[in-house]
């Protein structure tokens, strides 16, 4: 069986192609994105591990989201109050 590793061909294959050069650093460094390894041998434990990872990740955003929701709530309440005042002024409120 001929593997094509003789002579000049072996020298070419000894050096990695230029397209692999950018990948070499990524293969040795840890990934930048967070990841969680979840065991899948028991469904209940897999579900528990995923839920725990989600809660831990999302908990850090809680204050930001809560502040934004309160801001939106204030805007919507003001809009409703303006609509009610407009309906009362035009006499539409009593006809509903």
With a CB cutoff of 8 Å and minimum separation 6, the contacts of 34 are 57
Percentage of the residues of the chain whose pLDDT score is greater than 90: 38
With a CB cutoff of 8 Å and minimum separation 6, the contacts of 50 are 36, 38
Q: Could you tell me which residue, 46 or 14, shows the higher pLDDT?
A: 46
Lowest mean per-residue pLDDT among 27-31, 37-41, 76-80: 27-31
Lowest mean per-residue pLDDT among 7-11, 24-28, 76-80: 24-28
How many other CB atoms sit within 10 Å of the CB of residue 49? 16
With a CB cutoff of 8 Å and minimum separation 6, the contacts of 84 are 93
């Amino acid at each position: 069986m001929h593997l094509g590793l003789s002579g000049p061909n072996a020298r070419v294959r000894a050096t990695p192609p230029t397209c692999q050069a950018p990948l070499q650093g990524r293969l040795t460094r840890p990934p930048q994105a967070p990841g969680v390894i979840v065991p899948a041998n028991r469904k209940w434990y897999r579900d528990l591990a995923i839920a725990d990872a989600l809660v831990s990740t999302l908990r850090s955003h809680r204050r930001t989201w809560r502040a934004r929701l309160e801001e939106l709530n204030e805007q919507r309440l003001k809009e409703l109050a303006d609509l009610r005042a407009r309906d009362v002024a035009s006499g539409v409120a009593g006809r509903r």
